[in-house]
Amino acid sequence: MVLSASQVKAWERDGFLVVPNAIKPAHCDRLMARAQGIVEDFDPSTVSVFSTHEQTRASDAYFLASGDAISCFFEEDAFAPDGTLRQDKSLSINKIGHALHDLDPTFDEFSRQPVIAEAAASIGIADPKLLQSMYIFKSPRIGGEVTCHQDSTFLFTDPMTVVGFWIALQDATVENGCLWAQPGGHRTPLRKRFVLDPVGGTRFEILDDTPWPEPGATDLIPLEVRKGTMVLLHGLLPHWSDVNRSERSRHSYTVHVIDGTAEYPPENWLQRKADLPFRGFARLATLGS
């Protein structure tokens, strides 16, 4: 097993685990180059969500279609009032999601590295299924805050099994918007679920009013990590990341894994077409050095 007994113990105690040097720097570089290629090929005019009063409905549709697609999402502040980009397209994207791991060969190979598969097995995921993938840019000055949340809100299973495998493709610091996590916070209840609304679009279903840990308070700690570090995040763990106030980007990649033995509800926002079912780690990649 790739994780030691003490690492598994720390994971169970804290609800997260930092694994330095898990991914080779060259593999990080390859993924970053591929993401750059996807952005270069992306035509922003295909996303009409910022120019009409039907913004919410259109963005809902684009978002909901991204579960089995490779879709680019802009930062909230990317556009000037006249609809033009404030800065270069490559510095305006918030993230790419959510089926990179199944549709793009470079991401497929990266997501199915033995180190990720073995880490999933180490923490007891019996029948791992790769559910969604996100490439996060967190660009200098424009990279926005991700408010405190639990991943099970968005990726619910019964019982709850989702685990995030977050990989730093660049050094992450407080200045450029690293992750912050609440040690032991995975023992707090799920606050809400993000579900499909029967009348269209999505909505939050409130489950519990337990307060979130406050940014700046001692119960939320920064996870400053080097490039190539893998951070495992329990689905109930409250975590947060700040805006990027620095001049350096903070690229990262997350693949979320669920246990196929759990029920995957039809009201989850992320639904796959029948011809693209969730897959496990079966096609393990053999990457070069």
Binding site for Fe ion (CB under 5 A): 151
Choice between 151 and 259, CB closer to Fe ion: 151
Q: How far is the CB of 187 from Fe ion (least distance, A)?
A: 17
Q: How far is the CB of 58 from Fe ion (least distance, A)?
A: 24
Choice between 104 and 151, CB closer to Fe ion: 151
Q: How far is the CB of 164 from Fe ion (least distance, A)?
A: 6
Q: Do the bridges between strand 230-234 and strand 192-196 make them parallel or antiparallel, or are there none, so unpaired?
A: unpaired
Q: Which amino acid is at 225?
A: V
Q: How far is the CB of 282 from Fe ion (least distance, A)?
A: 26
Q: How far is the CB of 26 from Fe ion (least distance, A)?
A: 26
Residue 20 and residue 223 in contact, taking contact as beta carbons nearer than 8 Å: no
Choice between 128 and 164, CB closer to Fe ion: 164
Choice between 22 and 134, CB closer to Fe ion: 134
Choice between 102 and 151, CB closer to Fe ion: 151
Choice between 68 and 151, CB closer to Fe ion: 151
Choice between 63 and 109, CB closer to Fe ion: 63
Q: How far is the CB of 231 from Fe ion (least distance, A)?
A: 11
Burial class for 199, CB neighbours closer than 10 Å (0-12, 13-18, 19+) = exposed
**172: β partners:** 225
Structure tokens that stand for 261 in this block? 């033995």
Q: How far is the CB of 46 from Fe ion (least distance, A)?
A: 27
